[in-house]
Amino acid sequence: MSLLEIEHLELRYGLLEAVRDFSLSIAEGEIVALVGANGAGKTTLLRAIAGAHRPSAGTITYEGANITSVPAHRRVRMGIALVPEGRRLFPALTVEENLLVAAQPKRPGRWTVESVIEAFPMLARLRHQRAATLSGGEQQATAIGRALISNPRLLLLDEVSLGLAPQAVDAVYNSLAAVVDEGATIVLVEQDLNRATGIAQRIVCMLEGQLVLAGSSREFTREQITNAYFGLRRPQGVDA
Cα 62 off chain centre by:
15
The count of C-alpha atoms lying within 13 angstroms of the C-alpha of 96, restricted to the half-sphere facing its C-beta, is 7
Q: For a pLDDT cut of 70, what percent of the chain falls above it?
A: 95
162-166: long-range contacts (C-beta < 8 A, 24 or more apart)? Answer: 162/85, 162/191, 163/136, 164/136, 164/137, 164/140, 165/136, 165/137
Q: What is the mean pLDDT of residues 23-50?
A: 95
- Is the model more confident about 207 or about 229? 207
Are 197 and 33 in contact, with CB atoms under 8 Å apart? yes
* CATH fold group of domain 4-230: Rossmann fold (3.40.50)
Q: Given a cut of 80, is residue 86 above it in pLDDT?
A: no
Residue extents of the structural domains in the chain: 4-230
pTM of the predicted model as reported, rounded to 2 decimal places:
0.90
Instruction: For the beta carbon of residue 210, count every other beta carbon within 10 angstroms.
Output: 17
